[in-house]
Structure 1
């Protein structure tokens, strides 16, 4: 891939200013920017012909393009990347934007998912894009669990957490299940897992099963292993309620082209099937801070021709536990969206850390 930073360094002041003004004009209006528009407020006295020559050079470099038969230019994906990496000015979120995000975190309710749902709605409203919030895996300590038979080939694990949250998870038990082996397996687990989180339980149970192999019969062992398999599956990032998507109507604008609408609907269909949750978190995990993906730079959003601004959020131990992001057209106002996403991610991280210490 072309080194956009080197291209920027090699440009003279006039070329750099023309390029910056074309990109900023396009991001502001969505329309191609012509040479006469630039001539009116250029920092030095130059003719429209001179600016046209500069724009042609930038087009030859792959930084600008000419849509349709328009005399104006728009930035290419490579041009947007160069602008974002080298020329974009990032400030702090407006006070009104911060207040709207802050307002979602003012509740003392225990339901983290509900709170993050409101965060997603506020983020979508503030940015006028579609918001994504990847909620953290539940890390509250376990208080108690029970196995409940539902039939010959189906059972339920009922997990009660110390914070009052209850989860019910279906799994396929081993053949020959009996009520006594259910009770034995539940007693075996409850004796060791109370006070531990789900992410800790698997290794604890495996160690205990090895050391107490003779104390638990074959059916109970198989039941415990079946139940553990269902928990392990929930840890792989594909839990159906971990990804919150809000504001999709912001992208399904009536003015969008038919092809654009089809691509965006494909994107949301993928997200609603939760097929790419793990990929979404992976995008955010490569380093701290906000990351920007433009157009086809990542496979998750390439089909829709959209851009993604995403940032991870962390717990008190500085471990990444989720992410927040905004999807929008490639002509997003990146300079405004980036600090909003960053602010939201840091706020969510602090909020979750404070709650875990109560």
Structure 2
């Protein structure tokens, strides 16, 4: 029987003293990060057990794959399987303290209502980092910024800068390849045509409008200008290889390095953040959030992104006015993260972010 299977059956097989020993080891780890030995553990238990009896129980828990000894003659630590079992079987998630709820609201409402949603996302990430002492993470799967202006600027004969300006003066630039023989007048014609049909629309809405105006597009633009419009829309919407499916905001990375002295552990954390910046990782995290209706917890190697760094992720989706998932908010921390406190924190932030995003 595998360790995973043994752990799955643990709730049915642990007796009272095994449960108390296991809980004491996990709770000590979550508080201090240090192994707990049999002598100290025997003093923490609500029942009278000698150190020798505690060691026997520890041996049984090791056999189940719930704890391990990091060094010979050391105390015991929970395995990732043990942490998962503890979270699923024993952890009680309460509501946020009123002071914490007020702090979250204060941070989020400090962002001026007239500012773009990006301001909310940055504040949410920074706030979660500060409150959890981990790294605050916010992901967006798409951007529905209302457009104000678009322009194509030639950089060289075969490349141009495609510039998109949002209603709050957010600017996004992408380099696109130009069709062979494109002239400056065709760049201007493509820009003017797009600007003439904006009318305060989002990018998806603009693409829909232009799709309905095929005859008008053919009438007003020559073939090269039509191609240029199509390339610009493709790059902006992220359907080209250069485009990204969304954005990733991470604040508080330095928190994860606190207390980490081993160079190999530091390198693993750096690799984690490098992986997070990749498009594939962003898509995967958004998918993880979408696949659950509420907060999800990923401990260590349960998700391949965190298998090397030994980190955990607590993540929840947030939604738009149509109740569609448009992103996710969460906290990255060590596996000894205070899950019982962070879970309601992430959950409340996700609900508040959904509500505030809809009103903008």
Question: C-alpha distance in 2, partners of 1:190/1:273?
Answer: 32
Return the offset for 1:336.
1.2
Look up the SS of the partner of 2:162 in the other structure.
strand
Deviates more, 1:62-71 or 1:157-166: 157-166
Return the offset for 1:76.
0.7
Q: Which position in structure 1 is the counterpart of 2:272?
A: 267
Look up the SS of the partner of 1:25 in the other structure.
helix
1:289 to 291, 294, 298: 294
1:23 to 20, 23, 26: 26
RMSD, aligned CA: 2.7
1:112 to 112, 117, 136: 117
Look up the SS of the partner of 1:304 in the other structure.
coil
Question: C-alpha distance in 2, partners of 1:235/1:323?
Answer: 23
Q: Which position in structure 1 is the counterpart of 2:157?
A: 152
1:57 to 57, 60, 64: 60
Question: C-alpha distance in 2, partners of 1:350/1:57?
Answer: 48
Look up the SS of the partner of 1:222 in the other structure.
helix
1:67-92 per-position Cα deviation (integer Å, ceiling 9, x unaligned): 10234211111101111111111112
Change (3 A) 1:324 1:21: same
Q: Would you say 1:278 and 2:283 are equivalent positions?
A: yes
Q: Would you say 1:69 and 2:40 are equivalent positions?
A: no
Change (3 A) 1:236 1:28: farther
TM value normalised by structure 1: 0.88
Pairwise mapping of residues 1-358 of structure 1 onto structure 2 (< 5 A)? 1-2=4-5, 4-105=7-108, 106-108=110-112, 109-135=114-140, 137-209=142-214, 213=218, 216-233=221-238, 239=244, 242-272=247-277, 276-355=281-360
Deviates more, 1:113-122 or 1:336-345: 113-122
1:94-150 per-position Cα deviation (integer Å, ceiling 9, x unaligned): 334333322222231413323322322221111111121114633133344333333
Gaps in structure 2 of 5+ consecutive residues: none
1:206-263 per-position Cα deviation (integer Å, ceiling 9, x unaligned): 4433786566421122112221221232688964982111111111124432321221
Return the offset for 1:349.
1.3
Question: C-alpha distance in 1, partners of 2:247/2:120?
Answer: 13
Deviates more, 1:38-47 or 1:209-218: 209-218
CA contact (8 A) 2:7 2:64 kept: no
Change (3 A) 1:274 1:229: closer
CA contact (8 A) 1:113 1:135 kept: no
Return the offset for 1:193.
4.3
Change (3 A) 1:93 1:70: farther
Return the offset for 1:56.
0.8
Question: C-alpha distance in 2, partners of 1:148/1:167?
Answer: 13
Change (3 A) 1:329 1:165: closer
Look up the SS of the partner of 2:308 in the other structure.
helix
CA contact (8 A) 2:6 2:65 kept: no
Number of aligned residues:
355
Change (3 A) 1:34 1:142: same
Return the offset for 1:281.
1.7
Look up the SS of the partner of 2:305 in the other structure.
coil
